[in-house]
Amino acid sequence: MKRFATGILFVAGLIYVPARLYESVHPAMGFLRAFCEAAMIGGLADWFAVTALFRHPLGVPLPHTAIIPNNKERIADALARFVEFNFLSTEVVTEKLGKIDFTQLTASWMADPARSGPVLAKIVEFLPRIFGMPGVEPLRRYAREHCTGVAAQADLLPAVSALLGGLATAPSCAHLADEIADLAERQFGRGEDEIQRALAAAATRLWPSLDVAAEPAQRLLSAVARALAALNNGTDARQRLASVLHDLLTALRDSPTLPARLAEVEQALMTTPAWSACMDTLWARLATRLHDDLRGPDSAFRTALQASVRGLGENLVGNMMVRMVLNMQIRQFLVGFVEQRRHHAAELIAETMRKWDAETMSGRVEDAIGRDLQYIRINGTLIGGLIGVVIHALSNLVPH
């Protein structure tokens, strides 16, 4: 296109010479001469204007030429501010995001196995590689240390205090005493024969020369059974048990040494080799179970994952209220994110343009504008020629 614009200007110059020489031969030659003369003036003027934007015309450093290279920093800052306040403004972003139904798009994708299936398949295919790929030891160590750090930072005292405080109330203690009594009687009755045999064996070891194993065991079991029956059938016994539990739980809750002891137990647990071994065992078992499950065609994990994703998508598709709430939250988050980060985006634009040298910046701006720059030159040549014809016609109407 640049050659075409230059070619028109060159043709106008070639035609101008014979038109000027033979202008007196025919009146039309005067119009042709005027057209070519004005076309050259308009074409050259627009060539100068376009060229002056990017470089010095003919290499002559005239004032106010090479505008873009000489104002590279200012243009970079101005363009960055323009993008920040016109394209990333809160109003523009809010209006644009308001037209997007994020949850509907996501839910439709999740509910369609044809679209979500390939992605889930890739995820399922990649999971075993996390546990079995070479160099997985740093990842396993990180997981163990992260779990240890989270557990060490967990403050168990408020939870323990709340639990003890709730259990220490009179109704809770009474209910707990009832549960303990009922459970003890059921379990004792269910395992009475085993307990009797164990006690008989213990008595035989203590008194091997005496055949009195059955009698002491039976008497002990009978006493325990009577105590449990009295506990279940008697209100006073249950009240005494509830009172004991209340005193014990209150003492634990209000104990000044409980926080320190909890911290000591927690710290001791986290630093034992058994804890590290437990984390390593969990990792190994998880890797083995996952690998064995995903290796088969009827993977339970794969089936459960696909069913969960599809079910969640179907539920979202059918629940407009939930989608509205989620869309509102997503839009608020994105608008806030853009508000906080739009200045960084503008800075990125400005810094990138500052790094360009003058020639690079001129070339990229010129390439971005493209053919329109050459159309300016073409239009200047043609419009200039037409204006020249009009001026020549008007001049002929004026009496000499």
Q: Note the pLDDT tens digit of each residue in 274-333.
A: 666 777 777 677 777 777 777 777 778 788 888 888 888 888 888 888 889 999 999 999
Q: In this structure, are residues 400 and 38 in contact, taking their beta carbons and an 8 Å threshold?
A: no
Domain boundary among 253, 279, 312: 253
Question: Is there a domain that residue 64 lies in?
Answer: yes
Question: Is there a domain that residue 216 lies in?
Answer: yes
Question: Is there a domain that residue 264 lies in?
Answer: no
From CA 204, how far away is CA 208, in angstroms rounded?
5
Question: Is there a domain that residue 224 lies in?
Answer: yes
Domain boundary among 231, 253, 275: 253
Q: In this structure, are residues 42 and 381 in contact, taking their beta carbons and an 8 Å threshold?
A: yes
Tally of domains within the chain: 2
Exposure string over 119-145, b if 16+ CB within 10 A, otherwise e: ebeeebeebbeebeeeeeeeebeeebe
Q: What is the pLDDT of residues 203-228, one digit of tens each?
A: 555 555 445 445 555 565 566 565 55
Structure token pair of residue 73: 């920093």
Question: Is there a domain that residue 355 lies in?
Answer: no
Full-prediction pTM beyond 0.85? no
Domain boundary among 253, 269, 303: 253
Helices (H), 154-257: 156-167, 170-190, 192-206, 214-233, 235-253
Helix pair 170-190, 235-253: axis angle to 10 deg? 120
How far apart, in Å, are the Cα atoms of 111 and each of 300, 321, 369? 19, 18, 44
Q: In this structure, are residues 118 and 324 in contact, taking their beta carbons and an 8 Å threshold?
A: no
pLDDT the model gives residue 329: 92
pLDDT the model gives residue 332: 92
From CA 132, how far away is CA 31, in angstroms rounded?
86
Question: Is there a domain that residue 322 lies in?
Answer: no
Structure token pair of residue 79: 């363009």
pLDDT the model gives residue 244: 65
Identify the segments of the chain with pLDDT beneath 50: 167-168, 209-210, 212-213
Range of the domain at 10: 2-70+370-397
Radius of gyration over every alpha carbon of the chain, rounded to an integer in angstroms: 45
247: nearest Cα among 347, 133, 170: 170
Q: In this structure, are residues 190 and 196 in contact, taking their beta carbons and an 8 Å threshold?
A: no
